[in-house]
Amino acid sequence: AQTGGGGGVGRGCESVAGIPGKAVVAPLAHPLRGEGGLVVLRGNLGPEGAVVKVTQHTPTAHSGPARVFNREEDALAAVFAGRIKPGDVVVIRYEGPRGGPGMREMLLVTAAIVGEGLGETVAMVTDGRFSGATRGLMIGHVAPEAAVGGPLAAIQDGDVINIDVDSRTLEVEGVDIAKRLNGWSPPEPQYRKGVLARYALLVGSASEGAMLKP
């Protein structure tokens, strides 16, 4: 089979050489990690749970001030403008099953964070979703989502968020979430008719599979 570089797949394979000490598949006796790569966190920011993908190189703890955005596009613009600094926790809310609607993937923002050299020093928390391509300490699928009055709706810029994979916790420090939500009202729906309006009206929590319910 020909390749874009010419010469065929076989010829390309002939030139491949292993790098000492860079084993691709680790033996069972010496795994890269002692547990699987998907971890569920809980705490006052995600009482129904949140999901993080952890690899051998992913930081497992982070504490820093929240930088809050109500949609993916605003967070992306902030990264490109240099407004996200080492130590920050980027919070993107209203991107869950109902808020999106449809639980959009936040890959653009995570890729931008890595591209700006912040992949090891900036964390993200969102009620949106991630795919397997995400790198860094990126917490997604936070439930309940902000659009239904979940805790992310109460977060403000500067709130200190603590993430600890080892203890399975996702917490915000010193915030009376219930008190803040007393003055909260849901955002205007992005769609008032059509299939997306119907979806947003009927979809359940990500923690239950984001299924449509009558």
Active site residue 167: no
Sequence-distant (≥ 6) Cβ neighbours of residue 161 within 8 angstroms: 45, 63, 64, 65, 66, 89, 91, 123, 125, 155, 170, 171, 172, 173
Spell out where 86-211 has E strands.
89-92, 123-126, 138-143, 160-164, 169-172
Q: How far is CA 91 from CA 55, 143, 147, in A?
A: 22, 14, 14
The conformation of residue 30, written as its DSSP 8-state character, comes to: S
From the list 131, 185, 205, 207, the catalytic residue is 131
Q: Label residue 116 left, alpha or beta by phi (over 0 means left) and psi (-120 to 50 means alpha).
A: alpha
Asked if 88 contacts 56 with a C-beta cutoff of 8 angstroms, the reply is no
Given the structure tokens 């020909």, which residue do they identify?
2
Asked if 151 contacts 46 with a C-beta cutoff of 8 angstroms, the reply is yes
Tell me how long the chain is. 214
Residues belonging to the active site: 131
